[in-house]
Each structure stands twice: as structure tokens, then as C-alpha cells.
Structure 1
Amino acid sequence: MKRSASSLVFDPTHVTQLSWTPRVFLYKGFLSDEECDHFVKLAKGKLEKSMVADNESGESVESEVRTSSGMFLSKRQDEIVANVEDRLSAWTFLPEENGESMQILHYENGQKYEPHFDYFHDQANLQLGGHRIATVLMYLSNVEKGGETIFPMWKGATTQLKDDSWSECAKQGYAVKPRKGDALLFFNLHHNATTDPSSLHGSCPVIEGEKWSATRWIHVRSFDKSFNRKTGCVDENEHCTKWAKAGECEKNPTYMVGSEADHGYCRKSCKACSS
């Protein structure tokens, strides 16, 4: 796929450092309106209830902690997706191959994601490129009220003043309002690669309107080369059978089965091998 000359260009004057504890940066206007609308269009009709990773097994499970719906794009599935992925790599200075496929999320009235960490507590997920060193949240729509990204353990020198345009949830820490086209980058690890508890974050309930966002998780190592890629009808992770029974073949087909752009690691358990 041919890269656009502008796909690797970003304007550092649009980036603001919001916090050092945790390290959080806001890029105003990272995505164009056309890119935002394209991502939403790709997701509509393909959304499923969002899952969370179980801290012990690493399996994806349903939880009231996270009440949004979402879906995963395939890496580089079209020119717009590929250009955004390239631009993310240029901005974060982290290799594109270290990133997961982007997840598109949709929050309706009252839906939320309780504060959580993006680094892992289980060994199964740590095999897949190690910890998520950084997270980028890209806002694909404006929200009339609510839907803020909240950092409850933020340690700033001064208090963030908030008027009645903020939700009560957003007043419980440092918060960022979702604005269409903006991107929020924060780091889940310290400079020495240890986990940063101050990176605890959540999505406040939507009060008025709806919220669309795209998430890109970036690992410390290549996510594309987490395992030696084998040929034939094989599983490449000891948890494939368990994940398949939990429905991951349908919920996360890009990882489990693979696509034209991505290698599938659980083809045998998903019964996706060609005859």
C-alpha cells in the first residue's frame, strides 16, 4: 500500500503536555473530520459488547465495569487506517508493529468504563508483546455532556478547576473532555519500564449525546511478532483452546483467526484452517 506523504507528518505545536504524573499529552486536531467519520462508518453494524481482561487468566470476560460496545479494525485495512497508524508511530516514536489493531468504541447514554489500568496483571497477555507502554485515545465525536477521560490518581501541582459543564465523575481527578479529532496519549509505564499506578484511568458515563472513540494500545515489544509464526493448522498460544471456548474466535477474529494483513494465532482452535 502506498503511503501518503502527509501520513508521517504531525505538528508538535498542536501537542500540549497535560501532566507528568501520569505522563499525558493532548494533540488537538490529530484526526480530520473525514478520518473520524470514516472510522465510525467502518464500525457501524459490527459492534459487540466490550470485554475486559480477567486479571488471573487473561481471558476476555463481560463486566459491568465496562458497558460500551466496540469492534477491532484490521491493521492497515485501508489507506486511511494505514495513514493514521503511520502518524501515530511518528508522534509517539514507537514502532508501528508494537501497536495492536485499533479498537473503535461506542458509548451511549449512561455507558462508561470504570477506572482501570492498561498494563497487565496476568502472564498470558504479557506474552503478547509485553506490557502496553502507551495508550492513545482518539475522539471521533463530540459529547454534549459527560464521557470525559478521567485520571483519578493524577498528582498535579494545582487543582484543575471545573464548572457545571463537567460531569460529577470528571470532578474526581484530572479529566479531559472528548473533542472530535483530538487524541490523548498517556504512558502506562515509568521511564524505567515499571508499571505506573498513576496511569489509572476511566471513561465517565455519557450524560447527553453519544461518544465514539478509537483506541490504540502500544506494547514494549513487537505485537506482530509475539510468537514464531508457524505454518499449517496449529495454535501458537497455550490458551487458544480456552479462548476459543470463551468465544474469542468471533469477538477477536483479527488475533485469533487472522486476516489479509494480520497473522492468526489460534487457527486450529477456531477451526479456521483450510481443508
Structure 2
Amino acid sequence: MSTVIRFSPDLGRWLTHNLNAGQAPHALVATMLKQGMNERAAQAIVAAYVDARQRGAAMPADAIELPDEASSRPVARLAPGTRILAADREIVVHSRGEDPVFAALGNVVDADECKGIIEMARPRLKPSTLVDPTSGRDVVSDKRASWGMFFRLGENDLVARLDRRLSALMNLPLENGEGLQVLYYPSGAGSEPHYDYLAPTNAANRESIARSGQRVSTLVTYLNDVQDGGQTVFPQLGLAVSPIRGNACYFEYTDENGRVDTRSLHASAIVTRGEKWVMTKWMRERRFVAAGEVARPFAGL
């Protein structure tokens, strides 16, 4: 069963114009709500336009089909249960949500692993960048005052062990994972709301999606205890995850049909006391091939 939602062609043209101009989907939903539109209808219409742009398909003209809530609920990649065996470690599930798929996890990494990753990452940190939506280039931005670096997949024994564990936890092949990213937020630093999936608004993102598919899920693992602030905040869901060493925040945002979920909007709250270290793993729809890399069979780790 489904419901057809009809809307004016003018609304469709407005959405197309603003998405092409780089407006964030959640901001467009907020404007539609202020005009009196039903929240579920507004989110569904914007999501349909975002999906059409992702796939390079024609935009809806004046109607969309909205499935019943039960039939449209996403199927989680994350294993069920309160504890998940992930390669060499049992992960504790403190809380989870089904729509969208979300989980707060514990016992993801131990204290020695956190210390080891921080020590290896520290001398390689550089000012964090954001992808310019028009050019696709990495640019330093005042919207993210952190420092960061990437490890190569399986770069050393510790990184390889964590790659295997996190891939098992996220329930996707090891080869689908991008290299671990480490971010450092000093006191006073944070990030503005953003999406982890790739918007095909520039050639670099379109080429990356063509090589490896869309990003489908994120695991943010906290490498230290933050004295105050630094939560991972999901403004559309009313969620905030505290950064506690060894814990992690997991969320999915791309379904089996390649449709992205704009409710995955998230940010790092400002660190008000202390500092914050996090390790991020992104998973793709298929084997991750970096820019300039020659696609070849994956040898494993």
C-alpha cells in the first residue's frame, strides 16, 4: 500500500533550483514546514528530489508515491541483539533505532588501541578540509576547526586489526571500507551539520561514486574521554552521543536502492573543556577505489 502526494510544479521548480544552488535538504524541509506542509510529506518530497539528483534521473513533476511507514522501514546492515561479535571483540549495543538505523555502541576499542592510534596519528595531522560542493576540491574551512589524517587500509598491524573488526561490526566486506580517518578537536573546536554521503554536485564526487558506489554507513569511535562538549549531534533526530573512550556511534544513510536519508545530518558540538579524538570508518556500496588507484582484485589483509 502507498499514498500519492501531489504538489505544485512551482514547488518542484523551487526545490530543483535550491538543490542545484547547494542548499541543504534539511533547510528546504524547514522552509516547507513553515509554510504549513505536513512534516512526513515535506521530508518525502525533498528526499525524492535528492534521490533523483543522486541517480541522475528526472525530477518528479507534481507527485510522489509515499509507501506506508511499515513497508518503507529500512533493513539494518548492523546485526541484531544487545551484543555483536565483531571478529576479535564482543561489542555492546547500548541503544539502537530502526528508522533511521542508528546505534550507540560500547567496547569497540580498548585503551591501548586508542593510545596507539592517537600516537601514530598525531605527527601526521593537518588542518581538516571540507569538499567544496561545486569544484569537488578539498578546502580548509572555518566550518570545521579540527585536524585530521587518514591511515591506509591495513597500513600496519594495529590498523589492520581495527579494519577487520570494524568491517565485521558494520557487516560489509573489508574491501568496501575507506581507510580509517582520525580527527582531533582542540578546545573550542567543532563542526557544522553535514552529511557523510556524497552529493553528485561535482565531477570528483560523481567519479568517486562511479568507482566505489555511494557511502552507506559511518562508525565514529571515540578515542578519549572529553571533559565537556564534543557530542555527536543529530539535529533532525534530537540525538546527542557523548564522546566516551572506547564507545562509538553508528548510523546508516543509504538503502539497498541507493537512496540517501537526509535525516543523517550530524555535527560535532564544540569541545568546551579538554580535547576530542575520534576515529571514523566509512563504508561504500562496493569495493573502495581511491582517486588515481587502478582497480584490481582485492588481496585482503
- Taking structure 2 as the reference length, the TM-score comes to 0.65
Aligned to 1:247: none
Deviations 1:75-109 (A, max 9, x none): 11111111111111111110111111111110011
Say if 2:233 and 2:239, in contact at 8 Å, map to a contact too.
Answer: yes
Question: What are the within-5 Å matches in structure 2 for residues 219-230 of structure 1?
Answer: 219-224=284-289, 229=294
- When Rg is computed on C-alpha atoms for both structures, the one with the higher figure is 2
Which amino acid in the other structure matches residue 55 of structure 1?
P
SS in 1 for 2:250: strand
Aligned to 2:209: 126
- Taking structure 1 as the reference length, the TM-score comes to 0.70
Matched, 1:54 2:125: no
Matched, 1:177 2:242: yes
Which of these residues, 232, 235, 243, is aligned with residue 149 of structure 1?
Answer: 232
Deviations 1:115-141 (A, max 9, x none): 100111121332341211011101000
In structure 2, distance between residues paired with 1:176 and 1:45: 28
Question: What are the within-5 Å matches in structure 2 for residues 76-155 of structure 1?
Answer: 76-122=154-200, 123-154=206-237
* Larger RCO (alpha carbons 8 Å, 6+ apart): 1
Equivalenced residue count is 209
In structure 2, distance between residues paired with 1:98 and 1:184: 19
Distance 1:133 1:18, change over 3 A: same
- Structure 1: which 5+ runs fail to align? 1-5, 155-172, 232-260, 263-275
Which of these residues, 258, 264, 270, is aligned with residue 193 of structure 1?
Answer: 258
Matched, 1:209 2:274: yes
CA deviation after TM superposition for structure 1 residue 225, in Å: 7.8
Which of these residues, 133, 145, 150, is aligned with residue 72 of structure 1?
Answer: 150
In structure 2, distance between residues paired with 1:7 and 1:192: 26
In structure 2, distance between residues paired with 1:113 and 1:95: 29
Which amino acid in the other structure matches residue 215 of structure 2?
R
In structure 2, distance between residues paired with 1:150 and 1:128: 30
Which amino acid in the other structure matches residue 193 of structure 2?
P
SS in 2 for 1:213: strand
Percent identity for Structure 1 against Structure 2: 34
Q: Which has the higher strand share?
A: 2
SS in 2 for 1:44: helix
SS in 1 for 2:134: coil
SS in 1 for 2:161: helix
Say if 1:71 and 1:103, in contact at 8 Å, map to a contact too.
Answer: yes
CA deviation after TM superposition for structure 1 residue 11, in Å: 2.1
CA RMSD for the aligned pairs?
A: 2.4
Deviations 1:33-61 (A, max 9, x none): 00000000001121110011122232111
Q: Which has the higher helix share?
A: 2
Distance 1:127 1:57, change over 3 A: farther
